[in-house]
Homo-oligomer: A and B are copies of this chain.
Amino acid sequence: MAKTNPGRFFEDYRIGQVIDHAVPRTVSGGERALYHALYPARHALYSSDEFARSVGLPSAPLDDLAAFHLVFGKTVPDVSLNAVANLGYAEGRWLKPVYAGDTLRSSSEVIGLKQNSNGKSGVVYVRTRGTNQRGETVLEYCRWVMVRKRDLDAPAPETVLPDLKKVLAPEDLVIPEGLDFSNYDFTLAGETHRWGDYAVGEQIDHVDGVTVEEAEHMLATRLWQNTAKVHFDATQREDGKRLIYGGHVISLARALSFNGLANAQMIVGLNGGAHANPCFAGDTVRVWSEVLDRAETAVPGVGALRLRLVATKGGAPFVLRDAEGKYLPDVLLDLDYWALIPR
Q: Which residues of A contact B (CB under 8 A)?
A: 1, 3-5, 20, 22-34, 36-40, 42, 44, 47-51, 59-60, 77, 100-101, 103, 105, 133, 187-191, 193, 197, 204-211, 213-216, 218-220, 222-223, 225, 227, 229, 232-236, 242, 259-262, 284
Contacts and interface: CB of A to CB of B under 8 A. Distances in A.
Nearest to A226: B40
14 contacts: A1-B205, A4-B205, A22-B189, A24-B48, A28-B28, A29-B31, A31-B33, A39-B222, A40-B232, A77-B190, A105-B188, A211-B242, A215-B219, A235-B284
Copies of this chain, tallied across the complex: 3
Contacts of A36: 222-223, 225
Contacts of A77: 190
Nearest to A217: B215
A27 B224 CA distance: 21
B29 A100 contact: yes
A38 B188 contact: no
A269 to B, nearest CB: 21
Given A44-B24, A190-B23, A208 B222 contact: no
Given A48-B103, A227-B208, A26 B222 contact: no
A298 to B, nearest CB: 27
Contact of A47 (B50, B214, B225): B225
B259 A204 contact: no
A133 B50 contact: yes
Contact of A213 (B34, B38, B215): B215
Dominant secondary structure at the A interface? mixed
A23 B261 contact: no
A4 B259 contact: yes
Contacts of A22: 42, 44, 187-191, 262
Contacts of A39: 222
A211 B217 CA distance: 13
A-B complex: 8 closest residue pairs judged by Cβ atoms: A28-B29, A30-B33, A22-B190, A215-B215, A24-B48, A3-B260, A211-B234, A30-B30
B48 A23 contact: yes
A100 B101 CA distance: 12
Give the most central of A24, A34, A77, A205: most B CB within 10 Å.
A24
Contacts of A5: 190-191, 259
A38 B222 contact: yes
A204 B30 contact: no
B259 A37 contact: no
A222 to B, nearest CB: 5
Nearest to A133: B50
